[in-house]
Amino acid sequence: MLPLSLADSALGLKFGPVLPSRKDWRIGCLGAGFIMRDCHLVAYKDAGFNPVAIASRNPETAHAVAARHAIPTVHESISALLADDSIEILDIAVPPDAQPDLIRHAIEVGKGRLRGILAQKPLALSLTEARDLVKRCADAGIVLAVNQNMRFDQSARAAKDVLNRGWIGQPVLATIDMRAVPHWMPWAEGLPSLSTFVMSIHHLDTFRYWLGTPERVLASTRPDPRTRFPHTDGINLYILEYSSGARASSWDDVWTGPSKEGVAGDIGIRWRIEGTEGLMQGTIGWPKYPAREPSTLELSTRKQPNVWLKPRWDGVWFPDAFIGTMGQLLVAVENNSEPEISGRDNVETIALCEAVFSAATEHRVVRMAEMLGAA
């Protein structure tokens, strides 16, 4: 395709989701917190998807969300929603320590009727439990996908397309520099891992999306001074080593200095991928949410020297990416195919999270073969 036209604002890149031919799949929504209320259901309305029922641990919250999004049925308990014979697709948005038991329950009562499950990330807090959930869904004939939504951020997705097209040659170095303050949910307190399985998992999965699963992991962590409840992993620094020679690294800085305490901050997320034939770099717009700040990408290649190509789009990660996460599950159900963000693929992301956590807390280099070989 090169040389590229500067008049083409998107460069022909594939950064949007693939959508199902059917949009009336009957979706049951489990959970009514922020991610369901402000992301999933907003995106589903924009896409024309069909959420038909909702339930939450707090029925009053479920009723409020149903009224806001015109969901016709509110179940007074989670068990009642899981037993609803009209539901074909289960959309889960609950804390990670509660999710595995709910998936197992859904498989038990939905076998033969339930077609697909969209689980939250992390699928589980251990590799053993993640593998168990994948096997149970496969045995029951239920398609399992995991909501690794950064893969549907427009710049992350466009970067993958650039890599697929070979425009920057063989990857040499990929980096993500995050200086942003997550809003830790109350359920995060007491988890065995904080940043690794809640925040860093986005970047670790994106590195896997871009470059595949690495061979070795080095990592360091320290607590976040702002987060008052006890935790081990706060600010995460890690390096991923690939057998190809490529390297990836991220600085997941959830502190950013006292930017919430009166210091002028520099909040943002920047990424960069260097290759043998070019480089690309960009920003992630998520820290500006709820303002709609599109992520960005700019590209320079030896085949069109001394030019920065800057594709642009109107979409944003939150909430638009959630059209893609549900959409790819529905496509897989329709085509009887593996989802793009399948539970089976996500096992390696969970293994990578475990490797980073182990490398950081045990102060050692961890080989991914060691993690993936564990039962």
In DSSP notation, 134-176 reads: HHHHHHHT-EEEEE-GGGGSHHHHHHHHHHHHTTT-SEEEEEE
My answer on whether 223 and 357 are in the same domain is yes
Range of the domain at 299: 151-317+350-369
In a domain, 313, yes or no: yes
Q: What CATH number is attached to the domain comprising 273?
A: 3.30.360.10
* Closest by Cα among 37, 38, 94 to 62: 37
Are 203 and 281 part of one and the same domain?
yes
Please choose, from the candidates 251, 242, 247, 194, the residue with its C-alpha nearest in 3D space to the C-alpha of residue 367.
Answer: 242
Same-domain pairing of 95 and 215: no
Average pLDDT along the chain, 375 residues, taken 10 residues at a time? 55 94 98 97 98 97 98 97 97 97 97 96 97 98 98 98 97 98 90 95 98 98 95 97 98 95 93 98 96 97 94 96 98 97 98 98 97 75
Residue 357 and residue 328 share a domain: no
Residue 36 Cα to chain centre, angstroms: 14
pLDDT at 10: 77
Q: For position 284, what pLDDT does the model report?
A: 98
DSSP at 94: S
Q: Are residues 75 and 114 in the same domain?
A: yes
Q: Measuring CA to CA, which residue among 147, 161, 26 is closest to residue 86? A: 26
Specify whether 124 is located in the same domain as 87: yes
Domain assignment present for residue 17? The answer is no
pTM, full prediction: 0.96
SS3 of residue 230 by DSSP: coil
CATH number at residue 53: 3.40.50.720
Considering the domain architecture, whether residues 291 and 222 belong to the same structural domain is answered as yes
* Structural domains in the chain (count): 2
Domain co-membership, 360 together with 241: yes
What pLDDT is stored for residue 265 in this prediction? Answer: 85
Nearest CA-CA partner of 69 in 94, 104, 93, 40: 40
305 with 338, same domain? no
